[in-house]
Amino acid sequence: MFEAPLAPEGGKRDRAYLVVLAGSSVGEMYKIEGEKTIIGRGQKAQIRLLDDGISREHAQLVIVNDRIVLQDLGSTNGTYCNGLKVEANKELVDGDKILVGSTTILKFTYHDNLDEIFQKQMYESALRDGLTKAFNKKYFTDRLESEFTFAIRHVAPLTLVLFDIDHFKKVNDTYGHQAGDHVLSEIAALLTGALRAEDVFARYGGEEFGVICRGSDVMQGQIVAERMRKAVAQNKFVFEGTHIPLTISVGVAGLPDPAVKDASELVSLADQALYKSKHGGRNQVTVHKP
Catalytic residues: 207
- Please calculate the CA angle 167-168-170 and round it to the nearest 5 degrees: 70
CA-nearest of 232, 197, 227, 226 to 214 is 197
Q: State in Å, rounded, how far the first CA of the chain is from the last one.
A: 49
Q: Give the containing element (helix H, strand E) for 255.
A: strand 248-255
In Å, what is the CA distance from 91 to each residue of 60, 62, 211?
12, 9, 39
Cβ atoms of 161 and 251 within 8 Å: the answer is yes
Count other Cβ atoms within 10 Å, centred on residue 206. Answer: 12
3-state secondary structure at position 142 = helix
3-state secondary structure at position 203 = strand
Cβ atoms of 206 and 138 within 8 Å: the answer is no
Q: How far apart are CA 212 and CA 227, in angstroms?
A: 15
* Number of separate helices (H) and strands (E) present in the chain: 6, 18
Cβ atoms of 205 and 131 within 8 Å: the answer is no
The torsion defined by the Cα of 46, 48, 53 and 59, in degrees rounded to 10, comes to -10
Torsion angles phi and psi, residue 93, rounded to 5: -125, 160
